[in-house]
Amino acid sequence: MKDEVSNVLGVKYVLLILVFTVGLSLCGCSTVTSKMRGLWGGTTSKIRGLWGNTTSTVDIPSAQFTAAQGEAFEGDAVAQFRLGEWYRTGEEVKRDTAQAYAWFTISALNGFPPAKARVRAGWDPATIARGKELAEILIDKFPSAVFVP
């Protein structure tokens, strides 16, 4: 009887680990799995996570990032700034400074003072050029991203 109980508990434990490691990436909870991936190396962008300053690539944006992106497309300047920060730091999405500059630019167009300060910060000229192109593309694709009184 004890062996049967041990086997059942062992199977449940293995299934729990399997669901946790595989299931999180499928349900859009990639931030957790990307932080875990940092333990195994082979990664590029910085993420400050559960295990300190580990490096990780974020292949699939987190659910939090996706929600903020939807708000940003609708013209929320704070969400746009948040996207810029995440692209700048690589915390919720793979690091991309041109995307960061683009979102800071759009947020600044919507009058958000911290975004205006970020746009004025010392950016690489190539990043500025590409960021401006991306901002124009985003505004063309999502006209509601820029608030027009």
In this predicted model, what pLDDT tens digit does every residue of 26-44 receive, in sequence order?
A: 434 444 444 433 333 333 3
Q: Is the pLDDT of residue 3 over 70?
A: no
Single-letter amino acid code for the residue at 92: E
Task: Compute the mean pLDDT over every residue in the chain, rounded to the nearest whole number.
Answer: 75
Predicted TM-score (pTM) of the model is 0.61
| 120, burial (CB in 10 Å: exposed 0-12, middle 13-18, buried 19+) | exposed
In this predicted model, what pLDDT tens digit does every residue of 83-120 receive, in sequence order?
A: 999 999 998 889 999 999 999 999 999 999 999 999 99
Q: Where are the domains of the chain?
A: 2-56, 63-145
| Own/partner long-range contacts of 52-58 (Cβ < 8 Å, ≥24 apart) | 57/94, 58/30, 58/31, 58/34, 58/90, 58/92, 58/93, 58/94
Distance CA 120, CA 84 (A): 14
pLDDT at 89: 94
